[in-house]
């Protein structure tokens, strides 16, 4: 499709040429085309298909063309490239996604991917393939642009092909081979002074089992494994040795189990290990400890036999620190040394009050946690929680992403102490690696408290759905949405720092909420209020956002005061019911856009354009004839459009900010600024002219 003639020109250029041809025809000319022999006149003295009919046809085509252009308000472009590994091999079946698109692309047999219709703007492309470290890059796509060489190099995981002994007998050994992508595997084994034996290739798959026989007891065999993918890439496993069961038990205790690990599964924690000793075993002893209590024997050799290599603890208490260690027991009852401990914090719904201690940090979480209405979950200062990018418990709202849902109480951190941090365990963290904290604590049950808490790389760093919350020094970093109030009527939140989140703060479907002391840096949208009633926003500072600093689209009487808004495109967008927006300092190429049937109360604001002075519109109304007095507008090509500033002295002067470096610009007014006394109250205009206790608070 990309090679068809209609794709040789960008769509806009094609439409422009077609429009010019139609206009040329309407004027009596002809479109740009090979010359044709004139047609014979008709009986009426005109060429067939007279001009009135041609005029009608042209108007229909032109209307259709304009309709097509109206359908193209969403600007799009094309992105393609190749995904290779560090050896230069094509990577087939790699999934490529964009953080802001519903589409995904998968590489074909040639390792190539393509997006034929991506929205114009910034995209963070993420490439994922089993057996490789994920890779990402950020691109900027303009309308109609074609980016044909957005290539990626994936780093193969070190253990792409692994093997372990499943069962040993006197003349045979069974080994299990695991590959991180479908392969056909082959085993080559050789005993000392014996000929090498090679197995036939296995079927294409991820798990392979080989029975190596016939073997000679009491000698060691060297083993090599290699695998080949469907597209011809070949990988080797680490070579090693194995022994069949000896003719008699070796003296002394057996060696300890190896490669002990515990992972989260849907059924509970799964403990796995390997055993490479030559002693025939009676079985294994598993020791289990809770929190910091001493290890105690949990399962012995009468439950865990010598050929077993895994057990699942189906009765583990969710959220409670759990530790395991193992011993091997041979046929004579001799016991190996004990392995080192492995630890897990199981996923699931808490069965009692749980505390995570700083001494256990870092804590790895690989599944959902739910705090029920009668439970208290406490996290001490200084704890770092590493959250898996994959939900191994496969539960919750999204069975693929880890989430922490609190219907009881969450007490995390403390004042003037080390922070509590939630970070992604991904090697390449992104803004949607896990779901985040979801707080649904009803006020009648008490209050959850987040003091000095930092959440990174979550879809929503902090989602508040009930009013029972106290916050101070909460930070969300590199999240899709930093903080989100959803139906949390009556909530009062203070002390939020939202850094490099696509949307800093969002609130929707709430009644009577109050948010203050909000600091937003970076991202695409600073603060978005939509569908709320009687929402109060006070004392905020939004800077360095790409597009819009503040969006207010509420249902009834929002009140916004005392804020700095600095954005790359639009400072403030006001829609919906009449909003009370006062004492803001707005710095953007387009200051304020008002688009709604009801007129907001917009007063005592300083609206400036420092980024692109001499361009843009300071205050634009979609309904002609309204007035917005007591606002200072400076640095735009037009101060107002479709509205006036009648009703007060119009200054529109340089505010005389204190100023400073761009990243830490001081929007306080110099003493010489006339805006120190220009508010309708007689005081100072802008973000720092408002104080708590002003009329309306």
Domain of residue 108 covers: 76-154
**Which pLDDT score is estimated for 88?**
82
pLDDT tens figures, 542-585: 999 999 999 999 888 899 999 999 999 999 999 988 899 999 99
Average pLDDT, rounded, for the chain:
86
66 and 195: one domain?
Answer: no
Q: Which two tokens stand for residue 668?
A: 């306080």
89 and 175: one domain?
Answer: no
Number of CB atoms found within 10 A of residue 313's CB: 21
Q: Select from 366, 280, 262, 405 the least CA-distant residue to 322.
A: 262
57 and 119: one domain?
Answer: no
617 and 545: one domain?
Answer: yes
The span from the CA of 602 to the CA of 594, in Å, is 10
Look at residues 297, 326, 344 and tell me which one is the last residue of a structural domain. Answer: 344
Q: Report if residue 589 sits inside a domain.
A: yes
pLDDT tens figures, 148-179: 999 999 887 767 788 988 888 888 999 999 98
Look at residues 329, 344, 359 and tell me which one is the last residue of a structural domain. Answer: 344
80 and 66: one domain?
Answer: no
pLDDT tens figures, 24-76: 434 444 444 444 434 333 333 333 444 444 444 444 444 444 344 333 444 68
**Which pLDDT score is estimated for 57?**
46
492 and 604: one domain?
Answer: yes
Q: Report if residue 516 sits inside a domain.
A: yes
The pLDDT of 524-551, averaged and rounded, is 96
pLDDT tens figures, 1-22: 333 333 334 444 444 444 454 4
Confidence class for position 100, pLDDT limits 50, 70, 90: confident
Q: Taking a C-beta distance cutoff of 8 angstroms, is the pair 162, 146 a contact?
A: no
Name the range with the highest mean pLDDT among 206-210, 239-243, 415-419.
Answer: 206-210
Q: Report if residue 40 sits inside a domain.
A: no
User: Is the confidence at residue 381, as pLDDT, over 90?
Assistant: yes
Q: Report if residue 26 sits inside a domain.
A: yes
User: Is the confidence at residue 410, as pLDDT, over 50?
Assistant: yes
The pLDDT of 600-628, averaged and rounded, is 96
Q: Report if residue 439 sits inside a domain.
A: no
The span from the CA of 119 to the CA of 132, in Å, is 28
Q: Which residue has the higher pLDDT, 35 or 327?
A: 327
Strand 112-119 versus strand 76-85 pairing type = antiparallel
527 and 668: one domain?
Answer: yes
Residues 6+ apart with CB under 8 A from 610: 587, 635, 665
Confidence class for position 692, pLDDT limits 50, 70, 90: low
pLDDT tens figures, 463-516: 999 998 999 999 999 999 999 999 888 999 999 999 999 999 999 999 999 999
Per 3-state DSSP, what percentage of the chain is helix, strand, and coil (rounded to 5)? 5, 45, 45
Q: Report if residue 434 sits inside a domain.
A: no
Question: Poorest-confidence range of 116-130, 333-347, 536-550, 663-677?
Answer: 116-130
**Which pLDDT score is estimated for 80?**
94
573 and 596: one domain?
Answer: yes
**Which pLDDT score is estimated for 249?**
61
316 and 339: one domain?
Answer: yes
How many independent structural domains does the chain possess? 5
Q: Report if residue 393 sits inside a domain.
A: no
**Which pLDDT score is estimated for 415?**
63
Burial code (b: 16+ CB inside 10 Å, e: under 16) for 319-354 equals: bbbbbbbbbbbbeeebebeebeebebbbbbebeeeb
The pLDDT of 189-214, averaged and rounded, is 94
Q: Residue 266 sits in a domain of what CATH number?
A: 2.60.40.10
Q: Report if residue 39 sits inside a domain.
A: no
Looking up tokens 């000392």 gives 192
**Which pLDDT score is estimated for 26?**
40
14 and 94: one domain?
Answer: no
Percent of the chain with pLDDT over 90: 65
234 and 266: one domain?
Answer: no
93 and 61: one domain?
Answer: no
Look at residues 193, 213, 242 and tell me which one is the last residue of a structural domain. Answer: 242
């Amino acid at each position: 499709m990309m090679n068809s003639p209609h794709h040789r020109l960008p769509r806009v250029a094609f439409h422009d040429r077609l429009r010019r041809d139609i206009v040329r025809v309407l004027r009596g000319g002809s479109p740009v085309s090979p010359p044709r022999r004139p047609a014979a006149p008709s009986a009426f003295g005109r060429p067939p298909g007279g001009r009135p009919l041609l005029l009608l046809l042209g108007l229909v085509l032109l209307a259709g063309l304009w309709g097509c252009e109206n359908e193209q308000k969403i600007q799009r472009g094309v992105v393609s490239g190749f995904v290779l590994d560090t050896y230069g091999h094509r990577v087939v079946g790699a999934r490529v996604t964009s953080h802001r698109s519903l589409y995904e692309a998968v590489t074909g047999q040639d390792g190539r991917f393509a997006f034929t219709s991506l929205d114009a703007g910034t995209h963070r492309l993420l490439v994922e393939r089993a057996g490789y470290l994920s890779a990402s890059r950020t691109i900027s796509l303009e309308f109609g642009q074609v980016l044909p060489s957005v290539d990626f190099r994936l780093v193969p995981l070190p253990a792409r092909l692994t093997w372990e002994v499943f069962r040993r007998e006197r003349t045979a050994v069974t080994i299990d081979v695991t590959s991180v992508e479908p392969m056909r595997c082959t085993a080559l084994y050789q005993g000392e002074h014996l000929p090498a034996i090679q197995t036939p290739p296995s079927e294409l798959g991820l798990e392979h089992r080989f029975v190596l026989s016939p073997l000679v007891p009491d000698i060691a065999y060297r083993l090599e494994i290699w695998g080949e993918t469907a597209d011809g890439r070949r990988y080797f496993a680490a070579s090693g040795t194995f022994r069949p069961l000896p003719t008699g038990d070796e003296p002394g205790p057996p060696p300890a189990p190896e490669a002990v690990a515990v992972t989260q599964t849907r059924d509970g924690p799964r403990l796995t290990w390997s055993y490479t000793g030559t002693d025939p075993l009676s079985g294994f002893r598993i020791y289990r400890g809770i929190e910091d209590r001493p290890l105690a024997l949990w399962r012995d050799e009468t439950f865990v036999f010598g050929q077993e290599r895994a057990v699942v603890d189906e009765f583990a208490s969710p959220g409670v620190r759990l530790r395991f260690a193992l011993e091997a027991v041979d046929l004579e009852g001799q016991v190996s040394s004990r392995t080192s401990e492995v630890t897990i914090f199981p996923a699931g719904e808490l069965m009692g009050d749980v505390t995570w201690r700083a001494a256990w940090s870092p804590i790895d979480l690989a599944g959902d946690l739910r705090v029920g209405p009668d439970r208290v979950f406490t996290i001490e200062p200084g704890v770092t929680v590493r959250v898996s990018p994959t939900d191994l418990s496969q539960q919750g709202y999204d069975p693929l992403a880890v989430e922490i849902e609190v219907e009881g109480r969450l007490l995390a951190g403390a004042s003037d102490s080390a922070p509590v941090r939630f970070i992604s365990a991904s090697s390449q963290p992104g803004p949607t690696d896990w779901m985040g904290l979801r707080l649904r604590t009803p006020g009648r049950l008490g209050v959850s408290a987040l003091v000095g808490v930092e959440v990174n790389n979550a879809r929503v760093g902090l989602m508040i759905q009930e009013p029972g919350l106290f916050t101070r020094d909460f930070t969300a970093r590199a999240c899709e949405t930093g903080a989100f109030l959803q139906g949390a009527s009556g909530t009062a939140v203070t002390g939020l720092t939202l850094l490099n989140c696509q949307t800093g703060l969002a609130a929707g479907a709430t009644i009577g909420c109050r948010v203050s002391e909000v600091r937003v840096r970076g991202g695409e949208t600073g603060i978005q209020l939509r569908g709320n009633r009687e929402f109060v926003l006070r004392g905020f500072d939004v800077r360095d956002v790409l597009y819009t600093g503040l969006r207010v689209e509420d249902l009834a009487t929002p009140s916004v005061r005392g804020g700095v808004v600095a954005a790359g495109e639009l400072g403030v967008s006001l829609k919906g019911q009449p909003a009370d927006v006062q004492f803001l300092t707005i710095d953007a190429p387009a200051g304020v856009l008002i688009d709604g049937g009801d007129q907001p109360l917009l007063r005592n604001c300083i609206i400036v354009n420092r980024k692109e002075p001499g361009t843009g519109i300071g205050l634009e109304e979609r309904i002609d004839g309204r007035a917005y007095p007591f606002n200072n507008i400076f640095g735009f090509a037009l101060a107002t459009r479709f509205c006036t500033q009648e009703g007060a002295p119009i200054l529109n002067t340089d505010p005389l900010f204190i100023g400073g470096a761009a990243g830490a610009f001081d929007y306080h007014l110099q003493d010489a600024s006339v805006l120190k006394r220009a508010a309708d109250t007689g005081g100072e205009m802008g973000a720092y002219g408002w104080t708590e206790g002003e009329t309306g608070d």
